[in-house]
């Protein structure tokens, strides 16, 4: 037992040498968690918990103050949240505590999965067939309050969902369903079909099927839940999520 975890389970993602004397080390089902931080000359140290996933995803839960509710931050977002004056260099500005010393993330082994994912396409999730995999998502209509399904198989589909999610006034009639995606609609003469608030909401028994390549009724896993890739993030979008992803990719 070392650093509070079993040596064998702790070395599943990283070797024993890579985990020696890393502060806050914990082992989860598909991730390793460590204490991290970012220093602002004005505000001091902002401390958090960094989770490193084998698919390259990096998530930080901020613990800068007892009441801070920021979680699942990208390193770039955490860097900005900390008030760091020289931002956009998160690989050097975000640090871990190794052997009692602050060590830049870039000088540790904890970026190896992120770097590998970047080389293979910025962390894109792929199904067993090798194709990009994002599970179906739902958006609630601002008028009738019914939830509508969005397929996220292409960049175009991801952009449609992305914009709908950001639109507080989004309504059912804004969506177009492709008749080739929904075979039950082939009775219609047009390739595209508008939905209306009068149409029934999808049954709960059907909603559990969201297109995960690992399990048809998956509730969310690293195979189908994407935290950002070149398919679902957009350089021409001004939302903070896309901005953070682009900054991470360019760092």
pLDDT confidence bin for 66, thresholds 50/70/90: confident
Q: What is the pLDDT of residue 104?
A: 95
Residue with more model confidence, 222 or 94: 94
Q: Which residue has the tokens 């909401």?
A: 201
pLDDT confidence bin for 30, thresholds 50/70/90: confident
Q: Whole-model pTM?
A: 0.48
Q: What is the pLDDT of residue 5?
A: 32
Domains by residue range for the chain, with CATH: 7-112 (3.10.390), 137-225 (no CATH)
Average of pLDDT values for 36-41?
93
pLDDT at 251 over 70: no
Contact 210, 218 (CB under 8 A): yes
pLDDT confidence bin for 7, thresholds 50/70/90: very low
pLDDT confidence bin for 9, thresholds 50/70/90: very low
Q: What is the pLDDT of residue 28?
A: 82
Distance between CA atoms of residues 175 and 162, nearest Å: 12
pLDDT tens digits, residue range 127-153?
444 444 788 999 999 999 999 999 888
Contact 59, 244 (CB under 8 A): no
Residue with more model confidence, 47 or 127: 47
Residue with more model confidence, 206 or 191: 206
Buried b (16+ CB within 10 A) or exposed e, 102-137: eeebbebebbebbeebeeeebbbbeeeeeebbbbbb
pLDDT, averaged across the chain: 79
Residue with more model confidence, 160 or 213: 160
pLDDT confidence bin for 185, thresholds 50/70/90: very low
| Residue among 56, 232, 57 at smallest CA distance from 134 | 232
Residue with more model confidence, 114 or 98: 98
DSSP category for residue 250: H
Q: What is the pLDDT of residue 250?
A: 66
Contact 135, 218 (CB under 8 A): yes
Q: What angle do CA 225, 125, 238 make, to 5 degrees?
A: 70
Q: What is the pLDDT of residue 118?
A: 61
Question: Other C-beta atoms within 10 Å of 213: how many?
Answer: 17
pLDDT confidence bin for 120, thresholds 50/70/90: low
Q: What is the dihedral of CA 189, 209, 152, 197, to 10 degrees?
A: 50
Phi, psi of 198 (to 5 degrees): -75, -20
**N- to C-terminal Cα separation, the chain:** 36
Contact 151, 181 (CB under 8 A): yes
**Distance (Å) of CA 212 to CA 136, 152, 155, 163, 234:** 8, 11, 17, 22, 23
Q: What angle do CA 158, 163, 166 make, to 5 degrees?
A: 125
Give the pair of three-digit tokens for residue 207. Answer: 């909603």
**Distance (Å) of CA 156 to CA 124, 145, 179, 209, 248:** 16, 25, 16, 22, 22
Q: What is the pLDDT of residue 127?
A: 44
HSE (side-chain half, CA atoms, 13 Å) at 50: 31
pLDDT at 246 over 50: yes
pLDDT tens digits, residue range 82-112?
888 776 688 999 999 999 999 999 999 999 8
């Amino acid at each position: 037992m070392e650093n509070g975890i079993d040596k064998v389970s702790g070395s599943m993602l990283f070797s024993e040498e890579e985990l020696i004397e890393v502060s806050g080390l914990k082992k989860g089902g598909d991730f390793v968690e460590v204490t991290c931080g970012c220093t602002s000359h004005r505000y001091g140290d902002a401390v958090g918990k960094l989770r490193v996933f084998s698919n390259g995803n990096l998530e930080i839960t901020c613990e800068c103050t007892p009441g801070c509710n920021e979680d699942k931050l990208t390193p770039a977002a955490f860097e900005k949240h900390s008030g760091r004056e020289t931002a956009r260099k998160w690989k050097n500005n975000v640090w871990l505590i190794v052997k009692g010393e602050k060590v830049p993330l870039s000088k540790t082994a904890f970026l190896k999965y992120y770097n590998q994912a970047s080389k293979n396409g910025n962390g894109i999730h792929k199904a067993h067939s090798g194709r990009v995999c994002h599970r179906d998502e739902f958006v609630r209509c601002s008028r009738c309050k019914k939830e509508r399904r969005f397929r996220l198989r292409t960049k175009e589909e991801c952009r449609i969902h992305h914009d709908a999610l950001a639109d507080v006034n989004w309504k059912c009639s804004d969506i177009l369903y492709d008749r080739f995606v929904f075979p039950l609609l082939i009775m219609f003469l047009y390739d595209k079909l508008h939905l209306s608030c009068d149409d029934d909401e999808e049954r709960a028994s059907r909603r559990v099927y969201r297109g995960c390549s690992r399990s048809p009724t998956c509730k969310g896993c690293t195979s189908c839940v994407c935290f950002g890739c070149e398919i679902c993030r957009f350089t021409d979008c001004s939302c903070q999520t896309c901005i953070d992803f682009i900054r991470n990719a360019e760092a």
